[in-house]
Each structure stands twice: as C-alpha cells, then as structure tokens.
Amino acid sequence: MTQIDPKLDLVLERVIDVAPELVWGAWTQPEHIKKWFTPVPWQTVECEIDLKPGGIFRTVMRGPDGEQMPNAGCYLEIVPNRKLVWTSALSPGFRPQASETPVPFVFTAIIAMVPEGKGTRYTATVMHGSAESAKQHAEMGFYEGWGKALDQLVEAAKKF
C-alpha cells in the first residue's frame, strides 16, 4: 500500500452501493467513462483506453462554454476489479510526457475498489510531486469535482 503524504496527496474515500465489478466497468470502458467521468456541466467527449501497463488512458473534457481540456496518461498497474493506477507524468509506453503538454500539474492516481457488504469501499488517491501542485489541485475543486464524478459513476453503474 502507498504511504499517504498529507502535503502531497489528496484522498477521496467513500463506501458506495455498487459492486466492485461495476465500478471496474465504469473505469475501464470508454463508453461508460463518457457517462460519468466529468462533473456536470462539463462532459467527457472522447475517451481512449488501452488497459495494460504502459497503455493509454486519454480523455477530452468539454466545458459549458465549449472549451476543451485534453488529458492523457499511462497505466502503471492494473488489478481487475480491485485497483487501477495511472499517471499523467507518462505517455503510453512509459515515455515521459513532452514538456509542452498543456497540464497545470502532473499526478499519479490510484483507484482502489474493496468489497464492503453489497457495495464497495472506493478510495481515490491522487499523488502530486510537490505541495504546491497538490494545493493547486485541491483549490481547483478536487474534492467537489471528484466527489461529484463519483456520484455520477454510482448512478451510471446502476444502469449497466
């Protein structure tokens, strides 16, 4: 397990009322990602997944004014129905991201799904390289945004 550093890491943990297998499907199938990944009124308009270590995890989010925000990263670890780890610091094939990549900060995300009763203990840990980038991510609305997206995931997963 990763050692949490409160100065560098943001953590969202909640028990949700959908099974880990449904959470897994929500995170690993592009057609499902598009339904929940971006907090409304934003939308995820593109998603590409190559579900293997070194594979791509790419989304394009569109804001209410039409602005687009592309994000691409690389999967690091995949444990079916239990854990996904990816980073925005690397491109597919474990290549470092180009310096001109338009992201305000890089992070590594760990999504853990542990069965709990009929549901899942869902933990999203987002690790940053500096206290400044963690603070910037928190101030951008990490807890509100990732929490709202999780609510959307739960509602979408119930319809799979």
The residue extents of the domains of the chain are 9-157
The structure's pTM equals 0.93
Condensed to tens digits (0 to 9), the pLDDT of residues 68-124 reads 998 899 999 999 999 999 999 999 999 998 766 556 789 999 999 999 999 999 999
Query: Kindly report the CA angle at 60 between 59 and 63, in degrees rounded to 5?
Result: 135
DSSP 92: G
Architecture of domain 9-157: 2-Layer Sandwich (3.30)
Phi, psi of 50 (to 5 degrees): -125, 95
Q: Is the pLDDT of residue 146 over 90?
A: yes
